[in-house]
């Protein structure tokens, strides 16, 4: 068995239902995402179009994150899922350096690496991932790509020539496919990311990695001092000024 | 006008989540910099011992492992401090994953530090016969004095992979294409020779002129080739689109451009000329000044090279 994922970008309408379902199912803290839907505008007014690209872990067959993890916190399950054991993670962020898709984050509550696991706990119980169940247009297709009769295998066969993966040149053999994607939607270098500008907010970069309330010394004291209670409010930072400095640094 | 519209035909991200900023920051720069000194003094020390008699460098036997010990501990401290779960560092030894260069490096660096500690203790008590005359540790160290020479070749051999494993971590960091260049290996080696010669320059006051001349030679060669390698990276474009986009953070001006060129001038160009000059005229003060500049410049350049690939959006 080799589980894979396919998103038909022609069907996705950017409702972000999958994003919310993932957050709720996996209790992902504010400021962190296992799955996100990126809006990309193409063209000049009035000839513009907007495309929506859901982005999550690609569960690569040759996963760089698994290879670089010094303690096997990132490991393969028998069904092909790249799982993460955050009780073993040492928080070195090597996986964040290795993942070409930027799919791994440092959980601010546990200070360990985390990412999409294709809802491995649900899959184990015979259920579909939360993002698949919630999608109102069935743009998310999940299943066994080793099985020729599975829905995902048949969908791939029906759309031969139009099925793409992100960054194939990295030789990671992603098990996450897109139908209806193009260079402008799947290649981050083909997109302009205007710092400080977005539809609903101007926060473009996180100020911190991991727990914002734990400095270097706190990391050592944490087991003795007890963890400060964190709720969603404690991660909200409307005074984030990180984008200002990046404006000067960037040009991208 | 069409040419004004070309830009707009590109895709623009209009809604996305906040992306992480720089993840591996100054602590990792300091970590790499300190490791360069820690292993470099052993490599350069071995070269000097091969070229000159021990009597020409009377304090080398104990100062070399002492400097290495201090900087290796700075390296290990910041390796630990940069972890989000520092106490779980033990998992690298309890649950090692051998495909990871981090694991292999941690094991090698720990073994290397252990051997350096042993050499330092033996070297110190041999050089200071009056220190702790009746102490058990001092007595044992003096009794096993010959062990120093026995383990030294192995330590020199081990210093090479300990220097280079960081380049393999860079190579495994698939997301950061600037680090994927094979030149990264040579950059690490030149950095170690540069930092090692600079480190030993500070304790070479009582050495013979010839041995100090060799130190200046190593510094000159290391700064020259380091500069050449970075210039090659900077100007040549035989590399991927992502690496090119990363280098744009340096090419396009701004703080990283300034830091990069400060590093080049302070760390490589000025120390090169000072070291070459010092090979003709033995000027200890000037050589120490060159060593300080080289170490400061090396830190700046390493800092730029570490941070700019992390600024590129990956998805």
Indicate yes or no: CB of A252 within 8 angstroms of CB of B103.
no
State ipTM. Answer: 0.92
pLDDT at B5 over 80: no
Of A33, A191, A210, the CB nearest to B84: A210
> Touching check for B128 and chain A: CB below 8 Å?
no
Class of domain A3-191 (CATH, top level): alpha beta
Q: Which residues touch B149 (CB under 8 Å, ≥6 apart)?
A: none
Cβ contacts of A185 within 8 Å, gap of 6 or more: A9, A40, A51, A53, A178, B11
Strands A140-144 and A112-114: unpaired
Is position B9 within any domain? no
- Judged by CB atoms within 8 Å, which residues 220-259 of B form the interface with A? 240-242, 245, 248-249, 252, 254-256
Element (H, E) at A247: helix A242-249
Instruction: Give the whole-angstrom CA distance, residue B272 versus residue A218.
Output: 43
Residue B13 lies in a domain: no
Nearest-CA distance B84 → chain A (Å): 4
**Considering just the CA atoms, what is the radius of gyration of chain A in Å?**
19
End-to-end CA distance of chain B: 31
The CA distance from B230 to B209, in Å, is: 32
Overall domain count for chain B: 1
Q: A252 pLDDT exceeds 50?
A: no
B144 occurs within a structural domain: yes
pLDDT above 70 (res A68): yes
**Residue B52 DSSP symbol:** S
- Which domain covers residue B275, as residue numbers? 19-311
pLDDT tens column, A98-116 = 999 999 999 988 999 999 9
For residue A242, the model assigns a pLDDT of 46
pLDDT band at A245 (very low <50, low <70, confident <90, very high): very low
Lowest mean pLDDT among A221-230, B103-112, B220-229: A221-230
Nearest Cα of chain A lies from the Cα of B272 at a distance, in angstroms, of: 30
Please answer whether residues B101 and B168 qualify as being in contact, where contact means their C-beta atoms are separated by less than 8 angstroms. yes
**Model pLDDT, residue A46:** 83
Domain presence at residue B117: yes
The enclosing domain of B26 has a CATH number of 1.20.1630.10
CB contact under 8 A, B10 and A190: yes
More confident residue, B157 or B130: B157
Chain A residues with CB under 8 Å of B252 CB are: 251
A198 neighbourhood in chain B, CB within 8 Å: 13-16
Does some domain include residue B177? Answer: yes
- Tell me, yes or no, whether B255 lies in a domain: yes
Cα separation, A138 vs A142, whole angstroms: 10
Question: How is A90-116 classified by DSSP, letter by letter?
Answer: ----HHHHH-TT---EEETTTTEEE--
- SS3 state of residue A43: strand
Phi/psi at A75 (nearest 5 deg)? Answer: -150, 160
pLDDT reading at A250 higher than 70: no
Of the candidates A163, A182, A213, which has an alpha carbon nearest to the alpha carbon of residue A29?
A: A213
Q: pLDDT, tens digit, for every residue of A9-42?
A: 999 999 999 999 999 999 999 889 999 999 999 8
pLDDT band at A232 (very low <50, low <70, confident <90, very high): low
What pLDDT shows up at residue A244?
46
What pLDDT shows up at residue A239? 54
Question: Would you say B148 and B188 are in contact if contact means Cβ atoms under 8 Å apart?
Answer: no
Is residue A128 pLDDT above 70, yes or no? yes
Tokens 């900023």 belong to residue: B21
Q: What is the mean pLDDT of chain B?
A: 93
User: Which residue in A has a C-alpha nearest to residue B176's C-alpha?
Assistant: A97
In 3D space, the residue among A131, A177, A173 whose CA is nearest the CA of residue A150 turns out to be: A177
Confidence of residue A243 (pLDDT cuts 50, 70, 90): very low
Alpha helices by DSSP H, listed for chain B, are: 2-5, 26-51, 60-82, 91-94, 101-127, 136-143, 146-172, 183-201, 209-235, 241-251, 255-262, 270-280, 284-307
Please give the share of chain B, as a percent, with pLDDT higher than 70: 97
Tokens 């992979």 -> residue: B161
Q: Given an 8 Å threshold on Cβ–Cβ distance, is A70 in contact with B86?
A: no
Q: Which pLDDT band holds residue A234 (cuts at 50, 70, 90)? A: low
Contact status, residue A114 vs residue A69, Cβ threshold 8 Å: no
B313 interfacial to chain A (CB closer than 8 Å): yes
Which of A90, A176, A248 to mutate: most B Cβ within 10 Å? A90
B37 within 8 A of B67, measured Cβ to Cβ: yes
Distance in Å, alpha carbon of B308 to nearest chain A alpha carbon: 9
Claim: this prediction has a pTM higher than 0.80: yes
Alpha-carbon distance of A24 to B27, in angstroms, equals: 35
Residue A62 pLDDT more than 60?
A: yes
For residue B264, tell me if it sits in a domain. Answer: yes
Rounded-to-integer distance, Cα A192 and Cα B7, Å: 9
- Name the phi and psi angles at A69, rounded to 5: -65, 120
On whether residue B6 sits in a domain, the answer given is no
């Amino acid at each position: 068995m080799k589980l894979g994922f396919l998103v038909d970008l022609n069907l996705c309408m950017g409702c972000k239902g999958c994003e919310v379902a993932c957050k709720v199912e996996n209790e992902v803290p504010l400021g962190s995402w296992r799955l996100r839907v990126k809006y990309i505008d193409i063209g000049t007014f009035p000839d513009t179009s907007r495309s929506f690209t859901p982005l999550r872990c690609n569960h690569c067959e040759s996963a760089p994150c698994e290879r670089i993890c010094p303690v096997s916190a990132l490991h393969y399950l028998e069904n092909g899922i790249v799982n993460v054991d955050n009780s073993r993670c040492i928080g070195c962020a090597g996986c964040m350096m290795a993942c070409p898709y930027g799919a791994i984050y440092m959980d601010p509550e546990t200070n360990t690496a985390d990412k999409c696991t294709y809802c491995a706990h649900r899959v184990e119980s015979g259920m579909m991932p939360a993002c698949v169940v919630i999608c109102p247009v069935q743009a998310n297709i999940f299943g066994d790509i080793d099985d020729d009769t599975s829905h995902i295998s048949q969908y791939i066969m029906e759309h031969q020539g139009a099925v793409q993966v992100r960054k194939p040149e990295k030789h990671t053999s992603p098990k996450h496919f897109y139908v209806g994607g193009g260079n402008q939607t799947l290649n981050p270098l083909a997109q302009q990311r205007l710092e400080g500008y977005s539809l609903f907010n101007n926060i473009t970069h996180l100020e911190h990695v991991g727990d914002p309330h734990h400095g270097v010394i706190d990391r050592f004291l944490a087991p003795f001092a007890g963890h400060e209670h964190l709720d969603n409010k404690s991660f909200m930072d409307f005074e984030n000024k990180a984008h200002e400095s990046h404006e000067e640094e960037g040009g991208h | 006008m069409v040419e004004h519209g070309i830009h707009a035909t590109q895709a623009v991200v209009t809604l996305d989540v906040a992306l992480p900023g720089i993840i591996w920051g100054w602590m990792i720069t300091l970590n790499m910099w300190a490791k360069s000194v820690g292993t470099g003094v052993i490599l350069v020390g071995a070269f000097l011992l091969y070229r000159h008699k021990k009597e020409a460098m009377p304090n080398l036997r104990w100062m070399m492992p002492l400097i290495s010990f201090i900087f290796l501990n700075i390296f290990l401290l910041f390796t630990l401090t940069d972890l989000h779960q520092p106490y779980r560092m033990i998992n690298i030894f309890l649950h090692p994953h051998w495909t990871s260069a981090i694991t292999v490096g941690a094991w090698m660096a720990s073994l290397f530090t252990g051997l350096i500690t042993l050499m330092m203790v033996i070297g110190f008590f041999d050089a200071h016969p009056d220190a702790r005359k009746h102490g058990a540790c001092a007595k044992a160290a003096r009794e096993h004095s010959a062990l120093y020479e026995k383990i030294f070749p192995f330590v020199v051999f081990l210093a090479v992979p300990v220097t280079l494993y960081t380049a393999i971590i860079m190579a495994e960091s698939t997301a950061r294409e600037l680090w994927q260049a094979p030149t990264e290996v040579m950059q690490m080696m030149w950095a170690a020779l540069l930092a090692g010669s600079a480190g030993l320059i500070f304790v070479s006051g009582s050495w013979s002129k010839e041995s100090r001349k060799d130190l200046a030679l190593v510094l000159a060669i290391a700064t020259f080739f380091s500069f050449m390698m970075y210039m090659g990276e900077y100007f040549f474009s035989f590399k991927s689109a992502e690496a090119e986009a990363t280098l744009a953070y340096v090419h396009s001006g701004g703080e990283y451009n300034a830091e990069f060129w400060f590093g080049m001038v302070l760390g490589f160009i000025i120390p090169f000329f000072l070291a070459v000059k010092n090979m003709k005229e033995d000027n200890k003060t000037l050589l120490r000044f060159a060593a300080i500049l080289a170490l400061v410049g090396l830190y700046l350049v390493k800092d730029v090279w570490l941070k700019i690939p992390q600024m590129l959006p990956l998805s």
